[in-house]
Amino acid sequence: MQNRTRSDYRIRPPLASDEPAWRELWAGYNAFYRASVPEEATAITFAKIVDGTSDIRAFVADTGNGLIGFAHFLFHATTWSPRPNCYLEDLFVDPKARGGGVAKALIEAVEAGARAENAQRLYWHTQEYNAAARSLYDTIVPRSSFIVYRKAL
């Protein structure tokens, strides 16, 4: 764990040149969640987040010497409001860079983006066993009472 301040990194949209560093972080994220994402999905995801017109957007945390984190998010319509919801789908910080506010800064960047798009809600979920992330999330917003059900198709 490194102590970092916002002067040690900046939050910005990803660039095409970030792909190798992003892929390293993406691999770490998927390993943490014990997920196996096909190469085609990985390539398409990165292409979408740098496209600028895609429904999938992102921010990265950049130290100037490389990326240390990312947040992927998207907007979607909801039946409960004329305004969209913003879903923070993926959030990851390199384990060596944790504890210095990077994850919170990425969430705040997504929140600012959601506000700029006039979203009515920002939401995300995590695994129950992800105690480190949950301890941060609990300082940002109370946990909802919703339980997620997923069925692969």
- pLDDT by residue for the chain (153 residues), tens only, comes to 344 456 799 999 999 999 999 999 999 999 999 999 999 999 999 999 999 899 999 999 999 999 999 999 999 999 999 999 999 999 999 999 999 999 999 999 999 999 999 999 999 998 888 888 888 888 898 888 888 888 889
CB atoms inside a 10 Å sphere around CB 90: 18
| SS3 track for 66-82 | CEEEEEEEEEEEECCEE
pLDDT of residue 1: 37
Q: What is the pLDDT of residue 45?
A: 97
Q: What is the pLDDT of residue 2?
A: 45
- What type of residue is 90? D
Q: What is the pLDDT of residue 129?
A: 85
Tokens describing residue 26: 């993406």
Give the 3-state secondary structure of residue 121: strand
Which domains, from first to last, does the chain contain?
6-140 (3.40.630.30)
pLDDT of residue 67: 98
